[in-house]
Each structure stands twice: as C-alpha cells, then as structure tokens.
Structure 1
Amino acid sequence: MKKVLCVVFLMFMGFQSQAQVKNDVQKKAVELIKMTSGQQFDIILEPIVKMMPEENREAFKKEMMTSLEDIYTKLAQVYIEEFTEAEIDEILAFYQTPVGEKMRAITPELTRKGMEIGQQWGQELQPIMMKYMQQ
C-alpha cells in the first residue's frame, strides 16, 4: 500500500512540476509579447477608443484591457509552440540590452509609419485592382 501511495505521490508531483514549468514558460512568453507588441496593440486600438463617446472611453479602455489579457495568453501559446524556453529567455535578454530597449522605444513610431505607408500603398493599388476587375 505504501508503494502505491508513493507512486501516486510521485506521479502527482511530476504533473505538478510539469504544470509549473509550463506556467513559467507561459509567463515569460506573455512578458515577451507585452514587451514587443503591447505598444502596437495600443496604436491599433487607439482609433477604436476614439470612436467611443468621450464619457465612455475610460470604462471601455478598462474592459478592453481585461480582454487583451486573454489575447496575450493565447498568443503566448503560439510563442511556446514556436520557441523553446531558452530561446524565449534569449529574446527577453535582447530586449533588455540598449539596442533592444531602443527597438522597443521606437516600435510605436515604426508601426505608425508602417501603417501610413501601407495605407498609401493600398490607395495606389486601387486603380490597378480596378483595371483587372474590369477585364
């Protein structure tokens, strides 16, 4: 009976340990996503917030931020599937270097400029699209 209890206990501890490791990796992946994409979400969501009546914006932003946590968790799973824990650690370490910190600092501006370029390109494509749609 003692042997059975020991085996069950060891199995439980193994499952508990695996769950803790996965949880640690998930926390790191969420940290990485927030570090690299959090500002981009802010930029993307900014026009949506501006569509809200001014008196509702703060409440909307608060609720929206709560739902964003779910997105971070889901995205973390994608990162975990693509990167090992060691790779996530290395990426996090990079973003703590001076160049990584600069990259994080200028990412919002890069995103804004990229969106402007993309919108302009989309407008330039319209005549080309019309040309081929009419054939």
Structure 2
Amino acid sequence: MKKILFSLVFICIAQFSFAQDAAFKSDMLKFMNLSGQMSTFEMLTKDIVDNIPDAKKADFQKELKESLNGLMNSMADMYMTEFTHAEVKDFIKFYESPAGKKLSAKTNVLFEKGQAIGQEWGMGLQGVVMKYME
C-alpha cells in the first residue's frame, strides 16, 4: 500500500512540475517574441533568403522557420537557467506596455545602427592596436 501511495504522490508531483515547466517555457518564448528576438534573427537571415532561387525559396523558408524555432527553444532553455518565472512574467508585462512595444518595434533599427557604430569603433580601435603592435 505504501508503494502505491508513494507512486501516486510521485506521479502527481512530476505532472505538476512538468506543467509548471511548460508554463515557464511558454512564457519565456512569449517574452522572446515580444522583445523582438525572433525578428532580429529573421532580419539576420534575410540576405540568405534573398540569395535562394525563387523556385526553392518556399521550401527553404519552411526549413529556416523550423530551424529558428529550434534555436528559440534552445535559447529559451538557456534563459530559463538565468531568470525565474516571476521575472519573465515581469518582462512580459513590460513588453506589453506602450514603452515595451516601442522598444520591441525599434529592435531592428537599433541593431542596424548599433552595428554601424560598432564597425566605426572597430576601425578606430584598429589604429590604436596597430600603434602598440609596432
């Protein structure tokens, strides 16, 4: 009788834990989508998509989407080791606010402008490095 009771308790705890993990993962993916991470990856792969022949583009985009979804799932797992579910819920609240929506909408623009600033900085740093390499 004790074994049966223990087994039932274990099964209930395991299912409760799985449900919590599934909700956490779902919220993490929601946060990542709201924060513009998927659109950033889509922007980064746009040039690749543009180079695929039109006859093969639809199939490629389907596989790319599956690949990006796998990437997002892996990244969600990684984020879940760094943040609590309560923190992720707070992130979601922010990204659903007007300020959060604006920040998310500007993700690609900020990335492109930041990349240009970083390249300019890198070019300037190259001169400093060369000065000390002589």
Supply the distance in 2 between the matched residues of 1:58 and 1:110 (Cα, whole angstroms): 29
**Superposed displacement of residue 120, structure 1:** 3.0
1:46 maps to: 46
Letter in 1 for 2:30: E
Q: Kindly tell me: are residues 132 and 49 of structure 1, through their superposed partners in 2, closer, same or farther at Cα, counting changes over 3 Å? A: farther
Identity %: 30
* Aligned partners of 1:43 and 1:112 also within 8 Å: no
**Unaligned stretches of 5+ in structure 1?**
none
Q: How many residues in Structure 1 have an aligned counterpart in Structure 2?
A: 133
- Greater CA drift, 115-124 or 25-34: 115-124
* Aligned partners of 1:30 and 1:72 also within 8 Å: yes
* Deviation readout 1:7-46 (Å, 9 max, x if unpaired): 2111111011111111110111111112211111111111
* Aligned partners of 2:31 and 2:92 also within 8 Å: yes
TM-score (norm 2): 0.87
Q: Kindly tell me: are residues 129 and 108 of structure 1, through their superposed partners in 2, closer, same or farther at Cα, counting changes over 3 Å? A: same
* Aligned partners of 2:40 and 2:107 also within 8 Å: yes
**Unaligned stretches of 5+ in structure 2?**
none
* Aligned partners of 2:94 and 2:100 also within 8 Å: yes
* Aligned partners of 2:28 and 2:76 also within 8 Å: yes
* Aligned partners of 1:35 and 1:104 also within 8 Å: yes
Question: RMSD across aligned C-alpha pairs, in angstroms?
Answer: 1.8
**Superposed displacement of residue 113, structure 1:** 1.3
**Superposed displacement of residue 84, structure 1:** 0.7
Runs of 4 or more above 6 Å deviation: none
